[in-house]
Structure 1
Amino acid sequence: MKFKYELDDKLAAFPLLMYGLQWFLVSIPMVLIIGAVVSHVQGLGAPDQTAYTQKLMAVMGLGLVAQVLIGHRLPVVIGPASVLLIGIIASGAENTPQIYTAIVIGGLFLFILYVSKLLSKLQFIFTTRIIVVIMALIAFTLSPVILNLVFSDGQAVFSLSFAIGMVILMTLANKLLKGVWNSTVVLLALLLGTGIYYASNGSPESLTVNTEASTLPFFNFPFEFNGGIILSFLFCYVALLVNELGSVQSVGQALKAKDMNKRSERSVGIAGVLNMLSGSIGVVGPVDYSMSLGLINATGCASRYALIPAGVGLFVCAFIPSIIGLFNFIPPVVMGSIMIYLMASQLSASFQMVATNDIVHHFNHGIIIGLPLMIALLISFMPEELNAQIPALIRPIVGNGFVMGVITVLILEHGIFRDKKPKKV
């Protein structure tokens, strides 16, 4: 496909700002949603939620510019990794210092993979069936937090009706909206959903931005090490690695970019540094998103330089708390509804990979995919009082549905149902 602006084309000032604004609008919803969800899970008040989102925006802004100029050098949007939400939820709000220490170590793990040149040697582990399961596990194991968001206000009938209606409207908008508008479905849902919620359910007590100072520390020092939590997050970083490589490869191949192996390696290295930075300041680490192709095809602009104004915009917004503070009024049911839509998209990509790669040839192949998902669901919805009975040392692993799902699929794919190579005659 021929684009108006190719990968390394430099744009004049006006088109650079216009295309940059579009990338900014695509980037900001995931930052706000993940920031708000983590704040909700960790019980942060309005001032601390604003401070958390500020730090998150600063990292994403720096990361976007770093990847475009130094890392993969592709027009790929960056955002907080939803898979790390799973580790945060499973580890418990009371273990916050240990969580962000584990994120630093996870980032170090990615960086070591980059500098050691081990990425190419580990690719045999990530078969297509394992990648499919990992993608689906992210959606399945986030179900409990989505459930809590949707029904947080105790109005079961209203919340259920609102969530289903909002998801159907988002799906309809995704079908009907064309061009660049299709890439703004999540942002429009965020704004319109909040307005509709307050119009039908009453306004909050005050819509003034809270100016109270945050008590959230800027740096996560001193580090606190917990072996179980660290191991749990390393499994999450396996999924993050798959996501990172998949996003970069899909965009790179679509644009016919050269030296894709080197681009992928550099992207993992930069992602590692950014995750170490994120953990050090106490926020979720970033990953690249494959949604970029939609905006590229819609606008005809494949230039990586168009993402630089978006990165700068995210970084600048991090220092304007009054703007970010307005987003503290997003109702949990709106966040939960958007998460349903995003996780449905995640599952859609997983199912599409099953179909296009023809990876289920018999019953055992179906078991490799289905059993890990069932085990993950079982653990994810296990009552809290039963989860508390698991020894603290192994709870972050055994009590984490995502981690146990990954362990199960690895055992099934490379152990129990391992494809035997034909004997030489």
Structure 2
Amino acid sequence: MGSSSQGEESIVAYEIDEKPPLGESIPLGVQHVLAMFLGNVAPPLIIAGALGLATGTTSFLVQMALFVAGVATIVQAYPIGPVGARLPIVMGTSFAFLGPLIGIGSDYGLATVFGACLVGASVEIGLGAGLRKRFKKIFPPIVSGIVVMLIGLTLIPVGMDYVAGGVGAANYGYPINLGLAGLVFLISLVLNQYFDGILRYASILIGIVVGYIVAIPLGMVDFSAIEQASWFAIPIPLKFGINFKIGPIITLAFLYVITTMETIGDITGTTSAVGREPDDRELSGGLIADGVMSSFGAIFNALPNTSFSQNVGLINFTGVASRFAAAIGGVFLVGLGLIPKIGAIVAEMPDAVLGGGALIMFGMIFSSGARIIINKVKPGRRNMVILAVAIGLGLAVELRPDAIETFFGQLQPTIGPIAQDAQTFFSSGLITGGFSGLVLSFLLPEG
């Protein structure tokens, strides 16, 4: 089963094209689901909470997140024409879009969110179809590192609001909320650091489950919505309609570039498990699938999808690189997405429980960006200036949004509707920081 390629030895239990017996493939597929489950459902939960959506709408968004992630995972493993990498790439909802999508949803509504997701995905499809190598040269590691760091930094306040019980909650900051979030945080940390295997990879999910169970006798879970939810439902395309605004589209187009870079890294990490570099077909197919399945997701009321790094780590840790096993996980996700009661159970999760896990995840996103900077960026005054300016501007806009709102409000009589689109773009700390880093990387001389 193990093989070597290009002079590198790979020690794997199952190669990419091997099919473990079904009795093994099923638990291996479930393990993939456990590793990515919380990361997949957290973004729709957080967006629904930020936009004040009803429980039924929230559970539907969770349901669609599961369904689309499952379909996308299956397509990555077993491509449809040029769409798919033919690799065990597990897909799920991307955190990179979370902050900007909250802003777009607040300003324009869900129809515009899904319209921007649909059109913006063409950027990644184009990169996968032939522009990847050229674009990688003009999008250096310092910019991708800055953007990933800002994803984490700009989401930490959101995570803290959930820890405290949710924005607008009557018991915001009460000890019961912080205590429950602290329990989830502690369990997740202990499992991650002192255990191996699935206990480590699913550590945050396990912490969330324990916190959810503890919250039940505390009277923090309302079972009425769960009882009313049906056991089976067919996905409904364009349930919230679709609308197109230039500002949100440009904002998301920039973010699809970020997920392109992340997916290249995940594909490379996956093939490294079998001792080789990815070929052009795998890279192109994986990126096209990212974009196509994000467009598919927008039609089916799901947020943009991307490859999940934790599952790449799982493959390297277990030595199971079978795309068949990953596809089994995708089948489970599709099944879960067809069961509204699952979405209702997740939607009723107390905010503090989600916050305890989310705070760790957001911190880890920042750490991933910092690792890119440390490992791939040459130290020097130029890069330090780019890092300082980009992070400074990004956090300034994120922490003091009223300044940007007032600025473009004053410009509106002069430039009209353009002011609203520009405000949408620049009011995101992630976009402002990432864009300024990209511009400086072109303008400042190497030295």
- Distance verdict in 2 for CA 1:306–1:314, change over 3 Å: same
Report if aligned partners of 1:47, 1:211 keep a CA contact under 8 Å in 2. Answer: no
Given candidates 209, 212, 219, the residue that maps to 2:226 is 209
Tell me the TM-score normalised to structure 1 length. Answer: 0.90
* Partners of 2:180 and 2:339 in 1: CA distance: 32
Residue 370 to residue 160, structure 1, CA distance change in 2 (3 Å): farther
Preserved contact between residue 116 and residue 248 of structure 2 (Cα < 8 Å): yes
Question: Among residues 177, 184, 189, which one is paired with 2:195 in the alignment?
Answer: 177
Corresponding letter in the other structure for 2:299:
S
Task: Name the structure 1 match of 2:415.
Answer: none
Partner of 1:82: 95
Please say if 1:321 is aligned against 2:340.
Answer: yes
CA deviation after TM superposition for structure 1 residue 324, in Å: 2.3
- Greater displacement, 145-154 / 277-286: 145-154
Structure 1 letter corresponding to 2:184: M
Aligned match of 2:445 in 396, 418, 421? 418
Q: Tell me which residue corresponds to 2:125.
A: 111
| Residue type at the aligned position of 2:128 | Y
Q: 1:251 to 1:205 in 2, by over 3 A?
A: closer
Q: Indicate the residue corresponding to 2:391 in structure 1.
A: 373
User: Counterpart in 2 of 1:423?
Assistant: none
Residue 4 to residue 131, structure 1, CA distance change in 2 (3 Å): same
- Find 1:288's aligned residue among 301, 307, 311: 307
Q: How does 1:18-33 map to 2 (within 5 A)?
A: 18-33=27-42
Distance 1:53 1:369 in 2: 36
Q: What's the Cα RMSD here?
A: 2.4
**144-153 or 94-103, larger mean C-alpha shift:** 144-153
Q: Within 5 Å, which residues of 2 pair with 1:20-419?
A: 20-70=29-79, 71-93=84-106, 94-115=108-129, 117-151=130-164, 152=166, 153=169, 154-158=171-175, 159-199=177-217, 201-206=218-223, 209-211=226-228, 218-219=237-238, 223-257=242-276, 259-357=278-376, 359-384=377-402, 387=405, 390=408, 391-415=419-443, 417-419=444-446
Q: Distance in 1 between matches of 2:323 and 2:204?
A: 23
Structure 1 residues 48 and 92, CA gap change in structure 2 (3 angstroms): closer
| CA drift at 1:207 | 5.5
Select between 309-318 and 298-307 the one with higher mean Cα deviation.
298-307
CA distance in 1 between partners of 2:206 and 2:239 (Å) = 34
Give the residue type in structure 2 aligned to 1:409: G
**Structure 1 portions without partners, runs of 5+:** 421-425
Residue 302 of structure 1, CA deviation: 1.7
Query: What is the CA-CA distance between 1:139 and the residue it aligns to?
Result: 0.6
Distance change in 2, residues 1:12/1:410 (3 Å): same
CA distance in 1, matches of 2:222, 2:272: 51
What's the CA shift string for 1:246-297, capped at 9, x where partnerless?
2112222342245433211111111111111111222201100121243224
Q: What SS does the aligned partner of 1:287 have?
A: strand
Provide the secondary structure at the position in 2 that maps to 1:5: coil
**Alignment CA distance shift 1:184-1:212 (3 Å):** closer
Give the residue type in structure 1 aligned to 2:205. Answer: L
* Pairing of 1:2-17 with structure 2 (within 5 A): 2-17=11-26
Deviation of 1:385 (Å): 8.1
What amino acid sits opposite 2:327 in the alignment?
I
Q: How far does the alpha carbon of each residue in 1:17-53 deviate from its partner, in whole angstroms, 9 at most, with x for none?
A: 1211211222322222222112212322121112112
Which residue type is aligned with residue 43 of structure 2?
I
Deviation at residue 217 of structure 1 after TM alignment: 6.4
State the one-letter code of the partner of 1:2: I
Query: In structure 2, do the counterparts of structure 1 residues 194 and 207 end up closer, same or farther at CA, with 3 Å as the change threshold?
Result: farther
CA shift in 2, pair 1:399/1:193, >3 Å: same
Distance 1:144 1:53 in 2: 22
1:351-409 per-residue CA deviation (whole Å, 9 max, x = no partner) reads: 2233333x242233222123211211111122558626523131111211111111110
Distance 1:136 1:327, change over 3 A: same
Residue by residue over 1:302-354, the C-alpha shift from the partner in whole angstroms, topping out at 9 and shown as x without a partner, is 21211111111111111111222111221112222212111222222222233
Percent sequence identity over aligned pairs:
20
* One-letter code aligned to 1:362: G
Whether the 8 Å contact between 1:57 and 1:317 is mirrored in structure 2 is yes
Q: Within 2, Cα distance between the matches of 1:169 and 1:370?
A: 35
Partner secondary structure for residue 57 of structure 1: helix
For the Cα contact (< 8 Å) 2:181–2:211, is it kept in 1? no
TM-score where L is the length of structure 2: 0.86
Q: How many residues align?
A: 415
Q: 1:360 to 1:211 in 2, by over 3 A?
A: same
Q: Which amino acid aligns with 1:132?
A: G
Q: Any idea what SS the aligned residue of 1:86 has?
A: helix
Q: Check the 8 A contact 1:5/1:300 in 2, yes or no.
A: yes
Quote the offset at 1:108 in angstroms. Answer: 1.9
Q: Which amino acid aligns with 2:94?
A: A
Q: Deviations over 1:180-225 (max 9, x none)?
A: 22111122022012223444x43435456152699x9631676422
**SS of aligned partner of 2:309:** coil
Deviates more, 1:292-301 or 1:379-388: 379-388
Deviates more, 1:277-286 or 1:345-354: 345-354
